[in-house]
Structure 1
């Protein structure tokens, strides 16, 4: 029995699909108010309606909150393995304290309860934002240790501190695995996260920045995790972390790929640091008067004109695994988007 947190998110839904498809028993955490329609839609991308319903029926849903230890403790009865993919993601300064508390405290609670319940195996989904900054010209890898600086986002700090809770669990006798995906390309809710990039380009977005980062397919991330938790692979990968990045891509190149596959005009207007600085300040002022969240923030545009390179090759040297190309990933997601918007 595998217990999965974050199952209602894009990556979590793909994990649930891969796990049920592979024959695992799955218990998944959700809130009482969670809408499962998005998960049903994601399952339907990869199977017939009948098969999707059959796979969904295999999931045992458990209502609760990671900050409520009593509710989570009840969920862990009979569980052998935990995949922790839940996290609050925000680049708004007003969410900083809540995000640090939710992500770190939630992970600490889950580690503690796993130990109390006798669950010794734990996979934690982190992020490349929790990695350290390497020397100039060197891609960031598993070996680069976090360094706290003003340029670090609160989200990155929350993921780093969450990792520390997982390593604590390892030092207390658990077997753990941490994966650090880059920007995950996949279909899902087109109004949030990385799927929103496709909708933004579809709506005629014409701006780009000169920076870039590491990208990876959601199918690669889910398949990598499910492959690594399998017993023979687990003995090889346990108590390590793995950066999951297929390729480092400039934002302009990525936007061009999306635009081409959607049949839209490529972005042509470069946005420099000075314009970004003006933009997030204006968005902040607007939010003050409208009592809404700013459309962009300092954290969300930080480093947009810098190239952040990552080395995701460690996994390919440890187990049989090969990334999909970014072109293939964008093409597949664009096709799904077009099927829903034409």
Structure 2
């Protein structure tokens, strides 16, 4: 039996779509307040007759830090995909991020060991990869430093340390570090904000870039990692290194709207950061642009996926295909 955490998120929902097409028995955790209609909607993207497939999932209400509920979720499980995480770059959310990402992963590792799980596949992030001293090209061996790391990266790194601890205690593990994951259905968070932002037809685009990958590729790689004999390895999972300008242009082209034409300058980003801080103080609302946000939007890191490609002999699907599909769904729902 397979257990999926984070089944109500972008990766988890798409993973459930694929797993329920097989004969595997699939269980997924969810919070008490989570919306399963959103997950069912993801299923509807890929099949007209999706209801029976969706009903194959055995849902268990279990918060990532609720040990008794998780123990019930682990009964009879042999494989675990740990996709649950909180994504935030707001320093005020550090305690919450640490609780969910790091402590929650520690709980998962401990239960995997206690229930003698055959393998744990963990979805991390390229945010936890290091830097090269004299190069912008990053690989799995690049040295990690917490200097200038955002709160999300710090807690995901701590989560990875828990997974490695589990591996030292005998738990077979594989870690994937995906870049920005593009896919349909979650327009108010993560990469969904690219589509929502593009639809507003802003004139400006961020100057930097990063590694991107489709959600379908992430799912295929997770399953390949699980069903392989690979153990104690991590893989940077990106299909292409792209600028934010290129991604926004592709989205705007598919939405048939005007593309942004002006690059945001560093001083403009810094001004927006200060204005956002004032807004946060006056309204007590969360920060949207922090110093680390400015740094991230300005950087143009290049991620090396050679290890993954050679290990799995993997060919990625085109980003343009997923962007086009996502734009169709976005237009239908907007």
TM-score (norm 1): 0.94
Q: Is the 8 A contact 2:179 2:211 kept in 1?
A: yes
The Cα of 1:302 is off from its aligned counterpart by 2.1
SS in 2 for 1:248: strand
Gaps of 5+ in 1: none
Indicate whether 1:300 and 2:293 are aligned: yes
Indicate whether 1:104 and 2:102 are aligned: yes
Structure 1 window deviating more from structure 2 (66-75 vs 5-14): it is 66-75
Structure 1 distance, partners of 2:144, 2:22, is 35
Aligned to 2:11: 11
Aligned to 1:139: 137
Deviation per CA, 1:222-273, whole angstroms, max 9, x where unpaired? 111112212xxx11x2221111100100111111111111111110122111
Gaps of 5+ in 2: none
Deviation per CA, 1:57-79, whole angstroms, max 9, x where unpaired? 11000001111211111111100
The Cα of 1:299 is off from its aligned counterpart by 2.6
Structure 2 distance, partners of 1:13, 1:299, is 29
Aligned to 1:113: 111
SS in 1 for 2:160: helix
Aligned to 2:40: 40
Deviation per CA, 1:72-117, whole angstroms, max 9, x where unpaired? 1111110001110001111111101221222110000111111111
Q: Is the 8 A contact 2:136 2:301 kept in 1?
A: no
Structure 2 distance, partners of 1:335, 1:135, is 42
Structure 1 distance, partners of 2:107, 2:206, is 39
Indicate whether 1:309 and 2:285 are aligned: no
The Cα of 1:136 is off from its aligned counterpart by 3.4
Indicate whether 1:209 and 2:202 are aligned: no
Aligned to 1:130: 128
TM-score (norm 2): 0.96
Indicate whether 1:256 and 2:232 are aligned: no
Structure 2 distance, partners of 1:171, 1:246, is 30
Deviation per CA, 1:13-71, whole angstroms, max 9, x where unpaired? 001111111332111010111111111111111111x2x11111110000011112111
Q: Is the 8 A contact 1:127 1:182 kept in 2?
A: yes
1:30-109 paired onto structure 2 within 5 Å: 30-48=30-48, 50=49, 52-109=50-107
Q: Is the 8 A contact 2:202 2:260 kept in 1?
A: yes
Q: Is the 8 A contact 2:185 2:329 kept in 1?
A: no
- After the TM superposition, list the runs of 4 or more consecutive aligned residues in structure 1 that deviate by more than 6 angstroms: none
Structure 1 distance, partners of 2:320, 2:118, is 39
Aligned pairs, number: 334
Q: 2:152 aligns with which of 151, 155, 168?
A: 155
